[in-house]
Structure 1
């Protein structure tokens, strides 16, 4: 193929575009016996073939035939082929006449060709506008396949807007190649070449912008570059403007104003069925017109779409005719509203219905659509996918349309950069003057209470949601069974949110009841999965990991896989699985689970995730580092999900225990003291703090009081019974220790809650183990058995202190104060501090008290000596 620059300039002036080598190489390749170029009008099919024809080394080999409009028979097409072949010199006048007579006499065209045509040199047959064959397509497809098999030196190029069986033709001695619309799209490099030749400028960044704005659609790209050439600079790339150009070009090629208007009316929606197309266009022959448009390559029927068979325009065509429809604003809005209403009535494609309702500025309809969209949601937590649509709703509209306000608030709360903006919107939802009828009168008050409770919870109010959630559950019980049956998914979605509000408010039993009811009324597997994992997360956190396993095993993984984190509800499943690993004392496995968590840094689930993460890193021996990270996060200020709720109490309890493990009792106290005194989730941490301060009598008294608190879970009660048993043993109250420890061990045997055992200080765990051995209790021994010293996981297995360091550590254990230690050893305080830093590093601790405790566990200090470090 000749690629000379002079020739290239001539070609560009003849075709309007430069040679696109990546495509023309396909047309030139002798290995490609059949090339089918498919794309809608304006995709550049004919221009590509013309460019190649001008550039080919053997232009005399090309026979070009454009299929005429209204072709009535295959004989008409083959007469044209014979005539074109005679003009190019491929066939003599005598051969053409003989073949023509055979065809006119009714002979099979391929058989006639076999009898009179001896193709002894390469030839290329180009059939342009192939879609015009209509019902003849199948017949001509078969003829071409036979000709290609009969003539090894023949190649065929077909340019078509529609589908053809040639794209899947199986040839014994050739290769079929299909150039689709996506391949016909201009690349940035090709746009640079086009700009250089037409506009005398080469700007790669501008070329990239052109491709983004136009999708690389050939007709639109040429229009943009033409505009650049005229004005001499890059204009504002308003894609609507260029799409309008495409629509006008396609309209001019159709020669049928009725079809153009039909496409303009029906392209407003992403997809249309025959009924919606009739409603939008008023044309009773909508289905036949859509089928004709499919044949012309402007779109395709999708037979298995949800809701039934629908027609979908090619994206470029849809965008183009949508831009054309926008020229008449009132008409365009009416079309959008009609489409949105129809989709809402069908109950499918509600996101599209919302977009259309907003586009049509029908805010009441958009409000209703969003309510139905939430009712159909299978997820428990929001995402920001609707944010671009909802941000187009004017501010003054929001107070009167609470679902739109709620939806915008949810979208903002799910966005890590914008969640603080959601607060005022949730306030607006709570204070809404009225709620329209979205579903049925019996559901209106339940909907209002459920939405209000969720908004209040996300706003940071942890009391109001309890009252509203309880009232909503009562009203659901009063709904007529027939109504409940009709609105099962809506009730399931509300019950999921009510259960989350009750859980965070500390009403675990009521929350579990709501979550269980939600799963029971679900009608789809994905929705049932979401309700199931809500219940699983609650139960796992409460300490019943055996039941959690059963719930997770019931999840329908064909609806969504737990390994795929795209649905945020799956984050609760990940948390539940992490707790199962924690209770199996598999901290490494729990860490792997948390890596699967689909969690934004700023979301309502942050306290839940962080509390679990703290337990994981505490168990892996890295409590100090993780505590420092979490404390820094909390110090940044207002965080979503942090407040007077169960998740935050669990988080602060885990943080307090992590600081105790790091030997920093002061920071542990600072974390625990401000928290509610009546929270059972903090009970264990408070008892452990007193034990670390060696206030054993106070710890025992505190354990007794904490066990009397209402609202304990299996886990929180077992934790306090275990820490209380430590206090009892220290004070010589073996019977109390036996009672409490036995109860905790029985809970672990029955339900699985035992992660807290691995996080006990090694000295206390050893003391409990000795007690179990003395009592010869296999149940206690099984409960207390752990896979090695967890706390020492971050330290070398053997710690070697120098003799001098041992002396210093013993002095610290006896005197405590650095100045007193220095005086006792006759050295300066700075020397003591330097030696202590070396000791801390070797022992993996950060304080004098922790150093003495660890050294005593390792046998470096006398385990019988009484500690004096304050």
Structure 2
């Protein structure tokens, strides 16, 4: 039997306590149970007002509103008085003395407050108010349970006898009480040593009396014992079948409970009231008025294991299917794992769609990989979404990533078939997964076509179907929009976002869409539009950002940091990039590096930063079958500019040799390479071709024309320079761009600004006198070496004189002398030693990383 002396000792302490009683201790110390038992023992001369709080913070006004509501429910306050007092509390105008007088009118009153730790935001104010009420109203007793060690710590109140505190040490079982509870000196001493007299553990051990002591860690023992203790009391209260059927999910609502049990909604509500009152779980009322309930987790896990072991397969599936369906819109991760556990693979596939749409970050990790690895191979083949799930789990683990493509290829299959004109929600989820799989496999053109089809299906769906699936549709749109962007289809991106905003009414959904709009507008060059959207949807502090998905957080941060560098705030941008979380497969990493490259260009170390990024990303070492994404092309352009700023033309040539479906993105660097080698005329000749290249955005076109304008001024072609400057004036002024100014040497930039000013152009006039970072470019112009000069340059590194070079190249020494004179002129040097240093510095000879012997 349970120790009577433990309860008697504490109940006597409560009986003789001061007007304000504090039961202080962590969960499991029996505070709530003791307070309930003491309240139940009071005679009819006492009113009881019981107020209970959950984990959510409760400000002072809300605290008193809850207390007033409890007093009304107890029949102490009439409705009209309660309403008036609640309104006053909400406005911060409640007369507490008047409230206390009404509570104690004609009888003693106990104000019992369970879970007082929830009042942390205003606990100092409430502490003082409760102490004042306890002092000023002798017929009012206040009893509080709290887990906090910082509430009611006023020495004055404690010393004056207003407060009695029962601490964790007092709530714990003594060794003698433990002996009485479990019987046997040895078992009691071991239990007491392991638990320190932890009340729930001692009570659980009493329930297990006579059974073998479990061999496990202290924590496991305690949790198991607590669960058994709770179960023992639980079966006295309610039907075991109700708990067995509702313990599968981590929480549930009354509608789900009604559908899987034989009870009505009213009966379910009564059961949940009883369960909560007796401490077996906690209810939460949602904004729409519905109620969810969560069992104490140790209790739920204990009963759940028994349910899974004892309930037949048919019964499990009958209960599991509606449970997973309900749970997937509330907690997709739990719905997914539960469906796999119950081998409900269709439901698992549907839940995974919600999981990926709501939070790609939840789709990775060891726990999920372990669950997925248990799926039979034939199921993965038959269920593309589950194959996708396995692929995502594998790709997130570097040690397993090589196995991911096989599963992602299966997942991509639905997008490679002939696509129908209409789809069910499940088919649309499957197609969306397939587009992401193609994207992760770097099959961007196919991914773009599939994403375009999926978006078209969403846009043309009947209004009733679209409204029913709007939450899932909008969540999947995040991934589909990014797929379209990676495929370079910005027309489709803009059109889709405009459509989505027109059909979306929810504030949060619109906010999430604007996150994507800010990021994609900023990166693609519509900076002014991105800034306007950012004002309506500002960056949030980190503690609020935790509510976002990792993908959304990364997208949000990338957009706002891009706006920072467009304002030339490179210090903040560099620091912010380090704090940006990395979501699914690190796909936004190229944008992070793109931001860092601009900061490096502004700081004059573009070449070093570009070299570092190339080494880390292995961009030049990727297999041929790995196609470039639009983000890769965006990054390659600025990497090339960084290398050009340091005169490294060899690595630039390697970057330009990479096959890309987006040559427009690399066009600015292509033109700049010609300009920096003194070939401005060729640059201007190539301008029409580069302007029409595939994959351009507003940003790349603006950068291309900026470099071309500099080339025109170098060639003294003022007419073409004026045409370009006037065109650029519109882009810089209307769209708020500035970054392309970093792509020019200082003397070229000064020339453009001066010419634009002379022409009276708004943006160029505004740039005059403005502090614009001036990247350091290699100052001397390096014209291209001819094929024969290139051969001589290579021979210079391995031969000691002209005679040896002439002999190696089968030409006369006079020919070598003439070619070396041309090389010296192009390199801006005057002797052989300087020429060798310059050839090595500029990497004009492939494969040379350090000076060769002279």
Q: Settle same-fold status: TM greater than 0.5.
A: yes
TM-score normalized by the length of structure 2: 0.67
Match of 1:674 among 649, 655, 658: 658
Matched, 1:141 2:113: no
Pick from 388, 410, 433 the counterpart of residue 367 of structure 2.
388
Which one of the candidate residues 524, 546, 553 is aligned to 1:570?
Answer: 553
The equivalent of 1:726 in structure 2 is 710
SS at match of 1:791: coil
Q: Deviations 1:378-422 (Å, cap 9, x if unpaired)?
A: x6x554468635642433222222333333434554567765554
2:506 corresponds, among 505, 511, 524, to 524
Tell me which residue corresponds to 1:820.
Answer: 831
After TM superposition, the structure 1 stretch with the greater mean CA deviation from structure 2, 602-611 or 293-302, is: 293-302
State yes or no: 1:619 paired with 2:607. Answer: no
Asked if 1:277 corresponds to 2:264, the answer is: no
Q: For the residues of structure 2 that align with 1:491 and 1:198, how far apart are their CA atoms? A: 62
Cα shift at 1:159:
9.9
Alpha-carbon distance between aligned partners in 2 of 1:586 and 1:66, rounded to the nearest angstrom = 63
Is contact 2:733-2:762 (8 Å) kept? no
Is structure 2 residue 527 aligned with structure 1 residue 545? yes
How many pairs were matched up? 692
Is 2:679 the counterpart of 1:692?
no
Q: What is the TM-score when the length of structure 1 is the normalising length?
A: 0.66
Offset at residue 587 of structure 1 (A): 2.5
Structure 1 unaligned blocks of 5 or more: 1-12, 50-63, 78-137, 796-810, 837-844, 851-870
SS of the aligned residue for 2:294 comes to strand
Please name the residue that 1:175 is paired with: 163
1:512 matched to 2:494: yes
How far is 1:732 from its partner? 2.4
Answer with 1 or 2: which has the greater Rg. Answer: 1
Note the C-alpha offset of 1:757: 0.8
The answer on 1:610 being equivalent to 2:596 is: no
2:732 maps to 1:748: yes
Q: Secondary structure at the match of 1:268?
A: coil
Cα gap change, 1:625/1:473 in structure 2, threshold over 3 Å: closer, same or farther? same
2:566–2:737 contact (8 Å) kept in structure 1: yes
Residue number in structure 2 paired with 1:129: none
Give the whole-Å Cα distance in 1 for the aligned partners of 2:475 and 2:524: 23
- Deviation, structure 1 residue 15: 9.2
| Superposed counterparts of 1:293-332, under 5 Å | 293-304=275-286, 308-328=290-310, 330=312
Corresponding position of 2:635: 651
CA contact (8 A) 1:680 1:706 kept: yes
Instruction: Tell me, yes or no, if the aligned pair for 2:684 and 2:708 is still in contact at 8 Å.
Output: yes
For residues 454 and 573 of structure 2, the distance between their equivalents in structure 1, rounded to whole angstroms, comes to 36
Is this contact kept in 1: 2:562–2:595, CA < 8 A? yes
Q: CA 1:715–1:733 in 2, change beyond 3 Å: closer, same or farther?
A: same
Does the residue aligned with 1:270 lie in a helix, a strand or coil?
Answer: coil
* 2:381 alignment partner, one of 380, 388, 399: 399
Deviation at 1:460, TM superposition (A): 1.2
Of 330, 351, 376 in structure 2, the residue corresponding to residue 349 of structure 1 is 330
| 2:613 counterpart of 1:630 | yes
Q: Report the more deviating stretch, 250-259 or 418-427.
A: 250-259
Residues in 2 aligned to 1:621 and 1:818: alpha-carbon distance in whole angstroms: 23
Q: Which residue number corresponds to residue 81 of structure 2?
A: none
Q: Deviations over 1:213-232 (max 9, x none)?
A: x999624996999999969x
Counterpart Cα distance in 2 of 1:594 and 1:185: 53
Structure 1 CA distance, aligned partners of 2:36 and 2:545? 55
Q: CA deviation at 1:783?
A: 4.7
Q: How many Å separate the matches in 2 of 1:68 and 1:562?
A: 40
Aligned to 1:502: 484
| Structure 1: distance between partners of 2:198 and 2:485 | 48
Q: Distance in 1 between matches of 2:410 and 2:229?
A: 48
- For 1:34, the equivalent position in structure 2 comes to 21
Partner Cα separation in structure 2 for residue 556 and residue 421 of structure 1: 40
Are the aligned partners of 1:680 and 1:716 in contact in 2 as well (CA < 8 Å)? yes
User: Of the candidates 260, 266, 270, which is equivalent to residue 288 of structure 1?
Assistant: 270
2:46–2:108 CA contact under 8 A, matched in 1: no
Verify the 8 A CA contact 2:590 2:635 in the aligned structure 1: yes
CA displacement at 1:368 relative to structure 2: 2.5
1:462-518 deviation digits (Å, cap 9, x = unpaired): 111122223333433442233223222233234333322222112211121122223
1:463 aligns with 2:450: no
Determine whether 1:361 maps to 2:325: no
Output the CA distance in 1 between the equivalents of 2:703 and 2:254. Answer: 64
Instruction: Name the SS for the 2:831 alignment partner.
Output: helix
Superposed counterparts of 1:9-24, under 5 Å:
none
1:615-643 CA deviation, whole Å, 9 max, x = no partner? Answer: 12212223133212201112286699974
SS of residue in 2 equivalent to 1:141: strand
> Matched residues in 1 for 2:168 and 2:246: separation?
24
- What is the CA-CA distance between 1:653 and the residue it aligns to? 0.8
Tell me the distance in 2 between the aligned counterparts of 1:271 and 1:446. Answer: 28
Q: What is the CA–CA distance in structure 1 between the aligned matches of 2:755 and 2:268, rounded to whole Å?
A: 84
Q: What's 1:490 paired with?
A: 472
Structure 2: which 5+ runs fail to align?
A: 48-106, 114-129, 780-821, 845-854
What SS does the corresponding residue of 2:252 show, helix, strand or coil?
coil
- Counterparts of 1:816 and 1:560, CA distance in 2: 52
Q: C-alpha displacement at 1:751, in angstroms?
A: 1.0
Residues in 1 aligned to 2:585 and 2:639: alpha-carbon distance in whole angstroms: 19
Deviation at 1:605, TM superposition (A): 0.9
**Aligned partners of 1:493, 1:694: CA distance in 2, in Å?**
51
Aligned partners of 2:284 and 2:776: how far apart in 1? 62
| Structure 2: distance between partners of 1:613 and 1:465 | 28
Do the aligned residues in 2 keep the contact of 1:224 with 1:242 (CA within 8 Å)?
no
The 1-side partners of 2:39 and 2:525 are apart by 77
Greater CA deviation, 412-421 or 279-288? 412-421
Mapped contact 2:745–2:777 kept (Cα < 8 A): no
How far apart in 2 are the matches of 1:217 and 1:685? 70
Q: C-alpha displacement at 1:459, in angstroms?
A: 1.8
**Distance across 2 between alignment mates of 1:520 and 1:781:** 38
Per-residue CA deviation, residues 721-743 of structure 1 (Å, 9 max, x unaligned), is 12112222222222112211221
Tell me how far apart the structure 1 counterparts of residues 505 and 198 of structure 2 sit (CA, whole Å): 40
Residues 532 and 551 of structure 1 are in contact (CA less than 8 Å); yes or no, is this contact kept in structure 2? yes
